[in-house]
C-alpha cells in the first residue's frame, strides 16, 4: 500500500469521525471569539454581556469582569466586578492561596484546593444571580460599590498576572487584577469621563 493512499484513508476516516460527532450548539462570543456555554449571561473569558435586555440585578449590568485582589503574597481574593453605566460593584466570590511552588504532595493538595475554590466561586455566582446589586453589596462586608463619579484617579499597571487597576476615590484606594481580555472589555464599557483616563504604565 502506498503512503499516499494510507494518508487518504486516514483522512477519510477522520472526516467520518468528525461527521459522527453530535452537532453542538457552537455559541461564540462576538467580542473575543471564544466558545461560550449555552445560557451564559456573560462571556466567561472576556466578561462581555451576551444576552440582550434586562438580566436582573436591578441595574443595567454592561459587563461582568473577573478580578482579584492580593492582600498577602500567598493569598488571593476573587471578585466578580459588575460594571454598570454609573458604577462598579465588586462582589467577593472566593479566596484561595496563590503559591505555585511545593512538593508533589503539596501540589496534589493544591489541586484539590483549586477544585474546591472553583466550586466555591460557582456557588457564590449562583447565589448572586437572583439578587440586585444593592442586595449583593449588603451580603458581604468585602463587597463594595465604586460610583464612577467618586473616582479621582484610575491607573493601569501591567504585571505578571495581567493588569492591575488601581482605583482611587476621595475616601479609599482599591486595586484589582484582571486578565487582558477582561481589561479590553472594561475599557469598552467604562464611561469616557476625564476622571477615568488614568495612565497606562509599562505597555
As measured in angstroms, the least distance from the Cβ of 162 to Zn ion is: 15
As measured in angstroms, the least distance from the Cβ of 45 to Zn ion is: 5
**Beta carbon nearer to Zn ion, 31 or 143:** 31
As measured in angstroms, the least distance from the Cβ of 186 to Zn ion is: 12
As measured in angstroms, the least distance from the Cβ of 187 to Zn ion is: 14
**Beta carbon nearer to Zn ion, 42 or 167:** 42
Using CB under 5 A as the criterion, which residues of the chain lie in contact with Zn ion when the complex forms?
Answer: 29, 31-32, 43, 45-46, 48
**Beta carbon nearer to Zn ion, 45 or 177:** 45
Asked whether the beta carbons of 82 and 67 are under 8 A apart, the reply is no
Which conformational region is residue 134 in: left (phi greater than 0), alpha (psi within -120 to 50 degrees), or beta?
A: alpha
SS3 of residue 178 by DSSP: strand
Of 176, 173, 147, give the one whose Cα is nearest residue 163.
176
Strand partners of residue 157: 164, 201
Quote the CA–CA distance of 179 and 92 in Å, as a whole number: 17
**Beta carbon nearer to Zn ion, 36 or 124:** 36
User: How far, in Å, are 42, 128, 140, 177, 190 from residue 166 at the CA level?
Assistant: 24, 25, 22, 9, 14
Amino acid at each position: 500500500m502506498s503512503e499516499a493512499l494510507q494518508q487518504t484513508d486516514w483522512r477519510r476516516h477522520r472526516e467520518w469521525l468528525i461527521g459522527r460527532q453530535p452537532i453542538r450548539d457552537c455559541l461564540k462570543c462576538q467580542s473575543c471569539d471564544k466558545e461560550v456555554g449555552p445560557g451564559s449571561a456573560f462571556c466567561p473569558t472576556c466578561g462581555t454581556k451576551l444576552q440582550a435586555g434586562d438580566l436582573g440585578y436591578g441595574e443595567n449590568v454592561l459587563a461582568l469582569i473577573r478580578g482579584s485582589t492580593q492582600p498577602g503574597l500567598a493569598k488571593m481574593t476573587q471578585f466578580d466586578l459588575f460594571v454598570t453605566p454609573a458604577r462598579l460593584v465588586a462582589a467577593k466570590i472566593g479566596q484561595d492561596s496563590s503559591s505555585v511552588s511545593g512538593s508533589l504532595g503539596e501540589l496534589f493538595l493544591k489541586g484539590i484546593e483549586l477544585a474546591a475554590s472553583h466550586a466555591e466561586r460557582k456557588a457564590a455566582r449562583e447565589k448572586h444571580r437572583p439578587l440586585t446589586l444593592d442586595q449583593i453589596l449588603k451580603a458581604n462586608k468585602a463587597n463594595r460599590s465604586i460610583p464612577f463619579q467618586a473616582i479621582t484617579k484610575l491607573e493601569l499597571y501591567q504585571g505578571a498576572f495581567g493588569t492591575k487597576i488601581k482605583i482611587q476615590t476621595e475616601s479609599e484606594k482599591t486595586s484589582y487584577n484582571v486578565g487582558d481580555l477582561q481589561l479590553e472589555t472594561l475599557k469598552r464599557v467604562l464611561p469616557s469621563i476625564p476622571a477615568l483616563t488614568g495612565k497606562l504604565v509599562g505597555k
